[in-house]
Amino acid sequence: MANFYITTPIYYVNGAPHIGHAYTTIVADVFARHYRQRGDDVFFLTGTDEHGLKIQRAAEDRGIEPQELVDENSAKFRDLFEKLELSHDRFIRTTDADHKETVLEMIRRMKESGDIYLDTYEGWYSASDEAYYAEDEIEDGKAVATGSEVEWVEEASYFFKLSKYQDQLIEWYDSDTVPVRPKARRNEVRAFVDGGLKDLSISRTTFDWGIPFPDDPEHVLYVWVDALTNYLSGVGGFDEAGETGGFWPCDVHLIGKDILRFHAVYWPAFLLSAGVDLPKQVFAHGWWTVEGEKMSKSKGNWIDAFELADEYPLDLLRYFMVREIPLGSDGNFVQERIVERNNSELADNLGNLVNRTTKMVQSFIDGEVPAYTETQNEHDVALRKAADVILATVRDAMNKREPHNALDAIMSFAKDLNQYIQTTQPWKYNKEGDIERVQHILYHALEGIRWVAVLASAFVPDAAQKILGALQLTSDDDLQLASLKWGGLPAGNTVETPDVLFDKIDLEAIAKEEEQTKMVEKKQKKSKGKKGDSEKTGLVEFGDFMNIELRVGRIESAEKVEGADKLLKLSADVGEDNNRTIVAGLAKSWDPSDLEGKQVAMVTNLKPAKLFGIKSEAMVLAAETDEGKLELAFFSENVKPGTRIS
């Protein structure tokens, strides 16, 4: 049994997870699941990076301790990965005790190699990027590469002799194993190193939220020495490194191209200094844009990862992210493309294949897998040949880190199966009473479907599980690639038709929901006003204010609006004979059960509006947090429903 160790970056906990975090971790999960299917012993590591000046400043701004801040933000990533149903083996945090021990051992070894010395650092530093920049990398007070603001720093610092390892790094880049990929990224980082390396500042004295430098507690370790070492501590530290066995060296460090220098220059140099084997591969993927534009909160096209997971089925999200772009290229997140992939490829191709085949088995041959019979004609031969090719193709594509090509081969085989059924026409032979021929055709179709489900399970695990379950294949062994021998589907198994694997998406319905939701949000904004002193509107007369009826309303019931992901239908007691019905855009922030029985502030004299066919007779007041959650103004039971708010 071979080992396979794959990592994502550990994500910096200065904000909420976005589409980029989801993408990296989903792709890593696809690889982890695939290599488990090979029978490899897989370790999939992800987690959060929690030290540094940026965290300390953010905590100070909020008046809380840094540990409280990182606990809060790290939980968001853990919750996201649970929501995405990822299969990581460990979620590591740089505040974990075993990680700190490994970092200190890393520094000890680097000192032992004579690679650390004390000097003074003068230069540009970005707290946002946690990175140092040379003069030619700065323009108008910002880092050219990232646009982040920089500040001039002068302080005592421990340095690492990065320049010592320039030749060894070049030799590593040029090795036959091609450790940095894609080729363009390898060329980029090689050119950087070939231009000459300067020694690297690895400690700071201007903040204290980090791991203290050994034997000199006035210094805190530079965050990237701390963060990168997680790849060792995550699998047991130095007990698992080098010649002692275990999962190290890492098979794939999967990263975004923006942190290539840290992973392909600094990290291997640290390892060389510490006497540890270098990783087998650093693979830098591209960035996602939205409708062709870079994501930005100010542009309103920022994609929150939680909202993304709510908006689309997980299998569709995984499928689109892997299928849409080659790993290493930039991608464009366009809703129309997601819908097209779902409707034409998943629903019409794979979903239709499974649905039509299982229904014919139930209708024509009593819903059981027939006995296997050898190939009989050119159609059978072509299908067998396609099956022989696909297994090797998928393996090869995954070895080359080309999951999009693996998925393309799987979906092409599903098309071959649909064509096989269309050409062999089992319904014709059933009508003629040639049951043996019907059994032969449907066995081969079912066997092909089994192959598709097994091969696709790393990409669309929920759908694959449903397909295999419909064939009564539910053991772990049934998912292994070793099970893919033609004719391996057991005869006599009951065949069921699974629930619809992929619902078609109606873009017009989505557009209608978004339009109606915007109407709700517009009304809410009119009621609650703008945020911040600088955004206040003009003064109003007291009489104008009194014309607005603000009352306490008790929410008696709450439920989601069918066909609208963001809307809730509320029934509220506002002190009248009958309850009011309210349509509110709260579904992304509140579970209906959490609102029932609560007393909240409402505007009760708005002109009724019809939203999704429901007459809305009032409005709930809300305020939006920086994280995008809508918070409500609650009242205790001491206040009666209908009480005027003034």
The domain locations on the chain are 3-306, 334-483, 508-635
Q: What is the mean pLDDT of residues 149-156?
A: 89
Cis peptide upstream of residue 249 (ω within 30 degrees of 0): yes
Q: Tell me, which fold does domain 3-306 have in CATH?
A: Rossmann fold (3.40.50)
What confidence score (pLDDT) does residue 298 get?
55
Residues of 74-89 as b/e, b for ≥16 C-beta within 10 angstroms? bebbeebbebbebbbe
The fraction of the chain above a pLDDT of 70, given in percent, is 92
The pLDDT value given to residue 543: 61
- CATH 1.10.730.10 given to domain 334-483: yes
**What percent of the chain has pLDDT above 90?**
72
Examine the pLDDT at 25 and tell me if it is beyond 70.
Answer: yes
User: Does 519 have pLDDT greater than 70?
Assistant: no
Specify whether the CB–CB gap between 341 and 349 falls below 8 A: no
Distance of alpha carbon 470 from alpha carbon 351, whole angstroms? 13
Q: Are strands 116-126 and 151-160 parallel, antiparallel or unpaired?
A: antiparallel
State the Cα–Cα distance between residues 94 and 101, nearest whole angstrom.
11
How far, in Å, CA of 127 to CA of 207, rounded? 11
Which pLDDT score, from 0 to 100, does residue 535 have? 46
624: confidence class by pLDDT, cuts 50, 70, 90:
confident
90-128 pLDDT tens trace? 999 999 999 999 999 999 999 999 999 999 988 888 877
Give the total residue count for the chain.
Answer: 646
- Give the position of tokens 């994280």: 627
Higher-confidence residue of 146 and 415: namely 415
**Residue 562 confidence (pLDDT):** 77
**What single string gives the DSSP state of each residue in 559-607?**
EEPTT-TT-EEEEEE-SSSSPEEEEES-TTT--HHHHTT-EEEEE--SP
Count of Cβ atoms closer than 10 Å to residue 250 Cβ: 24
Is residue 64's pLDDT more than 50?
Answer: yes
Average pLDDT taken over every residue of the chain? 90
Residue 509 φ/ψ, nearest 5 degrees = -65, -40
CA–CA separation, 429 and 266 (whole Å):
67
Average pLDDT over residues 243-265: 89
List all residues 6 or more positions away from 392 whose beta carbon is below 8 Å from its beta carbon: none
pLDDT at 237 > cutoff 50: yes
pLDDT for 531: 47
Positive or negative, the Cα torsion across 104, 105, 107, 108? positive
Provide the whole-model pTM. 0.79
CA 549 to chain centre: 44
Top-level CATH class of 508-635? mainly beta
